[in-house]
Amino acid sequence: MRVLGIESSCDETGVALYDTAAGLRANAVHTQVDLHAEYGGVVPELASRDHIRRLVPLIRKVLRDAGCGLADLDAVAYTAGPGLAGALLVGASVAEALALARGVPALPIHHLEGHLLSPMLSADPPRFPFVALLVSGGHTQLMRVGGVGDYALLGESLDDAAGEAFDKTAKLLGLGYPGGPQLARLAESGAPGRFKLPRPMLNSGDLSFSFSGLKTAVLLQATDKALSKTDRCDLAADFQAAVVDVLVAKATAAMTACQLDQLVVAGGVGANRHLRARLDAAGGLRGFRVFYPELELCTDNGAMIALAGALRLQAGEQVRGDGAFAVKPRWPLSSLS
Ligand code: KG4
Ligand code: ZN
């Protein structure tokens, strides 16, 4: 079964072709980073317009790379939410139109479901059940994943997501957008420990997170002071260590609470090297194994959407097929079945 996957929820246009027999056949992403950089963040209207420009050429490229034509597709999966409404509508309307024209199912997919299933595209994938730590620009969540569509929320951020905290802190330190990878790079040249930043909710006794206070703590250090290059590097290293300390402690607590031995890490912040090293070390100590998507599949892409669509079809998902569709800018993952 060949499933075309389309992702357009934010600032990446992603298209991929996943074959249930042969695996990932082609994957292409166009990032809008340069388009939004001068505004310091994503401008929704510009994002939608760029998805319109990029999507059809990307679909053509993916089909060419995979050596397929439209007639070879068995289904078209697309991100239906959560995300920017206008951006989602671009992917949804192209996907629904393609599916209608070809007479194949169109599958509306939850963006975070795509992220948390993405490690299954690796050569050595996890098996259900597992715990997933979802750390993206919009979400920080721990979920117990029993199978496709079986997602129980264990805990989440009460305010900023981890990626959002990275991005906002990067801005405070004078870095460009998107800030997460740039802040991580700055932190590599710094030494943590000098600024004594808080570890919010580390000892709250539950699996909730809070990151907005951490950003404020950085602001207090950065305001009205001429920070040297070393100060900025050390502050970045301190911030990264604080976020990672909390993520590792809560993920470890979730593994113990669920009595499972596989942890899946997904979402853009999952690309962070320091987080990966610390989670691997915690897993070694506590007897759980950590699974990550391939680095290029950590951030938004069409491959994870194609995979989620294929797994849902294989699980017997019922498809409406009436050509009517809607997108859901807000959509709790635990409401899926
Ligand atoms: O999953 P994703 O691509 O998009 C969303 O669905 O939100 O995640 C993007 C987030 C951004 O906040 C970005 O700054 C962060 O992931 N990110 C990182 C790193 N790479 C991306 N944060 C920390 N360290 C990184 N290496
Ligand atoms: Zn994402």
Question: Residue 180 Cα, ligand 1 centroid: separation in angstroms?
Answer: 6
Beta strands in 148-288 (DSSP E): 150-156, 262-266
DSSP state of 42: -
238 C-alpha to ligand 2 centroid (Å): 25
Output the CA 136–ligand 1 centroid distance in Å: 5
126-164 pLDDT per residue, tens: 999 999 999 999 999 999 999 999 999 999 999 999 999
CATH 4.10.93.10 fits 124-292, yes or no: no
Burial of 21 (0-12, 13-18, 19+ CB in 10 A): exposed
pLDDT at 211: 97
Instruction: State residue 337's pLDDT score.
Output: 85
* Domain 2-117+297-336 identical in fold to domain 124-292: yes
Average pLDDT, integer, range 185-213: 96
- Give the model's confidence band at 249: pLDDT under 50 very low, under 70 low, under 90 confident, else very high: very high
Question: Ligand 1: residues whose CB is within 6 Å?
Answer: 10, 136-138, 163, 166-167, 178-181, 184, 267-269, 271-272, 299-300
Whether 235 and 227 have beta carbons less than 8 Å apart is answered as: yes
Taking only the tens place, the pLDDT of each residue in 43-102 is: 999 999 999 999 999 999 999 999 999 999 999 999 999 999 999 999 999 999 999 999
Confidence band, pLDDT 50/70/90 cuts, at residue 324? confident
CA of 299 to the centre of ligand 2 (A): 6
Nearest CA to ligand 1 atom 20: 181
Q: Where are the domains of the chain?
A: 2-117+297-336, 124-292
CATH number of 2-117+297-336: 3.30.420.40
pLDDT value for 222? 85
Ligand nearest to the CA of 297: 1
pLDDT of residue 334: 85
**Sequential DSSP letters for 107-145:** EEEEHHHHHHHGGGGSSS---SSEEEEEE-SS-EEEEEE
- For atom 10 of ligand 1, the residue with the nearest CA is 137
Q: Which two tokens stand for residue 214?
A: 């951490």
- The yes-or-no verdict on residue 226 having pLDDT over 90 is no
Q: Answer whether residue 332 shows pLDDT above 80.
A: yes
